[in-house]
Amino acid sequence: MGSILIQAVSFLLVILVAYLFNKGGILKEQDGHVLSKIIVRITLPAAIIMGFNGASVNETFFLMIFLGLFSNILLVVLGEFLWRNKSAVDQSMLMFGISGYNIGNFTMPFVQGFFPTAVPFLGSFDMGNSLMLSGGTAVPVDKMTGQSKEAFSIVRTAQKLLSSPPFTTYLIMLALALSGFILPASVRSVVQLFSNVNAFLSMFMIGLYLELQIDRSSLTTVAKVLGIRYGFGAILAAAFYFLLPLPQIVRTILVLLAFAPFGSLSTINAIIYGSKSSLVGFLSSASILISLLLMTSILILLL
């Protein structure tokens, strides 16, 4: 329990320091863009490589891909049903807001400190999750709200996925795991250097982007979206944990994933579909702080 609380507090302190650096003018939000590029192109792929290296692939990996895809689809449809009488902009905000999980920049850094062997399961879930975040979610949103931004293209979605260093790293490491190939110790030692700073940089970037100001008129909407997101996250978590005949560590990971924060691309898509950037930015920031609290509590209860 002590180590869990120490890590959670450490993450919160890193986020707070970055937030204060931003508000104090030492760093700017634009500096977060630089960190984002470093994380996406270097440290996160390194963490994926270290996590997948030597992993034994079985049917659970492919089940996790399916669950990542299925969870997104279920929540998108639920979002449209719950707010079917609201405006198209509000509908799309809820559909994007309650689906999609921030795995690479939050959940993976948070979990890998406790379960290094869980990274392949996180990565497998994220492959299904990424399929929806990179274009799949926009298809039902367009159809259900009538806000067609551009025609869905399998080729364009595939290009987005393959241009993503983390997703490409998932594919390569999954292929290597299937073949039984293990990276040499000399290569692992170099990759480990980059992997070790992934958690710190990810939390620091979150702090630079943190948005804690919002007009009072939007608080009701924020409360409703967060309530739906985490309320049905709890239902999914219970289903994952009690209904799936999987090893304890996998069920624990699925429970944590059910309470992961909003995906970064979900917030971007919500803005593209007409939601106010200040509202969506606050929602994203609030979900990160709520998820940190909930995921810490879950680990204390389940470990």
**CATH code of the domain covering residue 139:** 1.20.1530.20
Closest CA to 261 of 281, 244, 241, 239: 281
The model's pTM is: 0.91
d(CA 88, CA 2): 46
d(CA 121, CA 226): 26
Closest CA to 80 of 290, 273, 282: 273
Q: Among positive and negative, which fits the CA dihedral 59, 137, 244, 4? A: positive
Q: Residue 52 has which token pair?
A: 């997948």
> What pLDDT is recorded for position 153?
66
d(CA 154, CA 95): 21
Taking each helix axis as running N to C, give the angle between helix 248-258 and helix 219-243, from 0 to 180 degrees, rounded to the nearest 10.
170
Q: Judging by beta carbons within 10 Å of its beta carbon (0-12, 13-18, 19+), is residue 126 exposed, middle or buried?
A: buried
- Name the percent of the chain in helix, strand, coil, to the closest 5: 80, 0, 20
Concatenating the DSSP letter of every residue in 25-75 gives TSS-HHHHHHHHHHIIIIIHHHHHHHHHTT----HHHHHHHHHHHHHHHHH
**pLDDT mean by block of 10 residues, the chain; 303 residues:** 84 94 90 90 93 88 94 91 88 89 91 82 93 83 71 72 89 91 94 93 92 84 93 96 94 95 86 86 93 93 82
Q: Residue 255 has which token pair?
A: 């429970």
- Which residue range forms the structural domain that includes residue 55? 2-302
**Which residue type sits at 233?**
G
Bridge partner residues of 101 (DSSP): 262
User: What total number of domains does the chain contain?
Assistant: 1
> What pLDDT is recorded for position 122?
93
d(CA 210, CA 17): 11
d(CA 218, CA 198): 34
> What pLDDT is recorded for position 57?
85
Q: Residue 236 has which token pair?
A: 């999914």
Q: Judging by beta carbons within 10 Å of its beta carbon (0-12, 13-18, 19+), is residue 32 exposed, middle or buried?
A: buried
Bridge partner residues of 61 (DSSP): none
Q: Among positive and negative, which fits the CA dihedral 98, 100, 102, 108? A: positive
92, 273 in Cβ contact below 8 A?
Answer: yes
